[in-house]
Amino acid sequence: MEREMVVVLDFGGQYNQLVARRVRECNVYCEIYSYKTPIDQIKAMNPKGIILTGGPNSCYEEGAPSYTKELFELGIPILGLCYGAQLMMHVLGGKVEKAPVREYGKTNTFIDGSKDAIFASIPDETIVWMSHFDYISKVAPGFEIVAHTADCPVAAAACEEKKLYAIQFHPEVLHTVKGKEILHNFVRGICQTEGTWRMDSFVENTVKEIREKVGDGKVLLALSGGVDSSVLAALLAKAIGKQLTCVFVDHGLLRKNEGDEVEGVFGPGGNFDINFIRVNAAERYYAKLKGVEEPERKRKIIGEEFIRVFEEEAKKIGTVDFLAQGTIYPDVVESGLGGESVVIKSHHNVGGLPDYVDFKEIIEPLRSLFKDEVRKVGLELGLPEYLVFRQPFPGPGLGIRIIGEVNAEKVRIVQDADYIYRTELAEAHKEGKMKKLPDQYFAALSNMRSVGVMGDERTYDYAVVLRAVETIDFMTAEATEIPFEVLQRVMSRIINEVKGVNRVMYDLTSKPPGTVELE
């Protein structure tokens, strides 16, 4: 049976992945493509629906991202969001102008149209998230205004006959109270999808695909011990068992005790019947990173040294048929391959075929999944919860949680501080002082040193920065409100127990404008 699919056309919006994620929550498969994707390619995908994302441009300016009018004549339901809504109006004969009043943030919106399509079951008045300089001053022929705000006469417009919908606000963000329902109305109702995209079927189908592709060949995987590579290892183990060899390069930049934990799960006597090789390479990494402070340079050194170590081990193994990578969908998009987003994460190894390993082909079974979907696959495969819900950890490890030069002393400081922080938050949750744990929380080491007093002596030591965020998909995040008494205890323990630290700070920055990591 052909898989149902909704296509998201990216016009440079910051929430493009969030749109796709919301579609997946409707149990419908979704992929992101650039607005430059040819119309014939879109038609060949036979999508059940198309969503046009937001973007930073004005659609009426010369050179602004656009699309041919033919897109709206395919007979496929189309939903335009923010810039996508304005573009739809502009292309089809409406008018878009600079707004006399810019709308940004939570806004009361009033539903004017019928309640049997895009706004089915939505209250007459609801709160949405607006973010626009321009506005639709005149709707295109055939469209009806179906929602407005105090400052925006066209908050939404619809052409029910052609199943075309233009929404000025962002239903994909959580700040839009009924956003999920609006997208569900479009994806499941208007697009008439059945919603068959689920993780149990993904595991069954992917295991079958891996077996057919690999045959009796050998597969090599670089296992980091993070969620993505661990789930991939379990998936490959289920499919091909001993045909899989996992190489775990311990670069000395992992969290405290993590190297031993990884070996305990995947090594001899662990949960899986695979070939496991651990390489302890900390001193090599520290030597390469000596004197290097610039974050991007550190990333490249860590990546390059991994290649060197991995290459050495691969040569010992000999020829393999496939190289497996734990690439997931945000990696694809954030590396500039899935849409119009700028390259955010340069350490992702996406799409390239390394020339340092003798193999036939690369396989990336998780390439189509978001992080929470990867976790569902892990549970489906029977991985323990503590591994499946391990906090996301960047490829360069503590190398990007240490601001400035990386060395053994700084690694020790951040490992110990991070261990105390995570332990205390877990204890606070257990004692009921916190209703839930943050989605990600860690300690980082700033490059700031300051004078302090400990006992009767002056100190000149480092400042540790604590980070904790609430998020669903890591596309957006808010700082967690941790009880002050818990933060006080964490601070006291770190300063008293971690040599080299005399100051502890808490980072309140949201994403955007910041990122989850501090670098």
Q: pLDDT tens digit string along 253-304?
A: 999 998 888 898 888 888 888 999 999 999 999 999 999 999 899 999 998 9
Higher-pLDDT residue of 2, 306? 306
Mean pLDDT of the chain: 89
Q: pLDDT tens digit string along 292-318?
A: 999 899 999 998 998 889 888 888 888
Query: What gap in Å lies between CA 224 and CA 251, rounded to an integer?
Result: 10
| SS3 of residue 323 by DSSP | strand
**pTM to 2 decimals?**
0.72
Q: Confidence class of residue 349 from pLDDT cuts 50, 70 and 90?
A: very low
Query: What gap in Å lies between CA 336 and CA 397, rounded to an integer?
Result: 22
Question: What single-letter amino acid sits at 55?
Answer: G
Higher-pLDDT residue of 353, 418? 418
- Among the residue ranges 67-76, 310-319, 479-488, the one predicted with the least confidence is 310-319
Does 347 have pLDDT greater than 80?
Answer: no
Query: What gap in Å lies between CA 336 and CA 403, rounded to an integer?
Result: 26
Question: What single-letter amino acid sits at 70?
Answer: E
- Residues forming the active site: 82, 170, 172
Q: Cβ-count burial of 361 within 10 angstroms (0-12 exposed, 13-18 middle, 19+ buried)?
A: exposed
Answer whether 443's CB lies under 8 Å from 501's CB. no
CA 356 to chain CA mean position, Å: 28
Q: What are phi and psi of 475, to 5 degrees?
A: -80, -35
Element housing 51 (H / E): strand 49-52
- State the CB neighbour count (10 A cutoff) for residue 158: 25
Q: pLDDT tens digit string along 3-29?
A: 899 999 999 887 888 899 899 999 999
162: which 2 tokens? 């052609």
| SS3 of residue 106 by DSSP | strand
Average the pLDDT over 337-344 and give the result.
47
Question: What single-letter amino acid sits at 446?
Answer: S
| SS3 of residue 333 by DSSP | helix
Higher-pLDDT residue of 385, 414? 414
Residue 345 confidence (pLDDT) = 42
Does 153 have pLDDT greater than 90?
Answer: yes
Does 162 have pLDDT greater than 60?
Answer: yes
Percent of the chain predicted with pLDDT > 90: 66
Range picked from 114-123, 203-212, 359-368 for highest mean pLDDT: 203-212
